[in-house]
Copies of this chain bind each other. A is one copy, B any other.
Amino acid sequence: MASPFLFYSEMVVEEKGKNIKLVLEYDGNAYHGWQRQKGEISIQGILEDKIGVITGKRAKLIASGRTDSGVHALHQVCNFLTKTNIDPGSLKKGLNALTPPDILIKEAKYVPLSFHARYSAKSKTYEYRILNRREPNVFLRHYTWHVPQKLHMAKMRECLSALQGRHDFSSFRSTGSGISNPVRTMILAECHLSRNGIIRIVFEADGFLRHMVRNIVGTIVQVGSGKIEVEKFLEILQARDRQKAGPKAPAQGLFLSMVRY
């Protein structure tokens, strides 16, 4: 992984090559998540291989963060160091010709060597989509969580505003995510009811713990459907204990929608 502390100078360019940033959109349905894994089809794996086909050397991609199996991206950012002379515009065209139609390279450009898709990120935004009506919809089956019980928007909004600010989010972190600091700053957490009964829950934070959005959404839906009270939700947040929270919402409703630098 490249150090985030490199300075952009001619000398470094000669040694390290160039730094190229990609902005991606992908449908996560067919993939075992972002991260390259042996024997699994991943978005990172496909992109690194196809960049290798174009540049002659397999890339090592750094993403703003991993997305799990079945999770989508409207705007994922990654970068890689390369010595190729192929300009970013041609690289974008070539990659879009070589990658499957469920992965789209929206942008490719040179960035300073100091740019690191993960460490340079100021905030990330996730959007979770719920289809909240009795009937399911075949066209949304891979892109929403179908919740047939009517959800109480005002109660869910109360929970979401309580999440804003700096908190220890341990109650909403899945195990297996190491021992890193569980404190994050939630810049924005709100929900919108669109036409056709689609509820969009939007979260912007300086970082997210493992499965944090899906664990929060699973618990908020319990509030919305009347299974637990708003007060209980606030207790869960304060408890810093994963055992207290509701079940994890399914992957297919989750979209990484923005990364700010």
Contact = CB atoms under 8 A, between A and B. Distances in A.
The 3 closest A-B pairs by CB, nearest first: A27-B138, A101-B141, A104-B138
A40 interface: no
Contact of A138 (B103, B136, B138): B103
Nearest to A28: B138
A141 B141 CA distance: 15
Contacts of A139: 25, 27, 72, 143
- Copies per complex of this chain: 2
A233 interface: no
A26 to B, nearest CB: 6
A175 interface: no
Interface residues of A, number: 16
A135 interface: yes
A241 interface: no
Residue with the greatest number of chain B CB neighbours at <10 A, chosen from A26, A103, A135, A139 = A139
Contact of A104 (B26, B104, B137): B137
A72 to B, nearest CB: 7
A136 B143 CA distance: 18
Contacts of A101: 136, 138, 141
Interface in A203-249: none
A139 B129 CA distance: 14
A117 B72 CA distance: 39
A111 B136 CA distance: 24
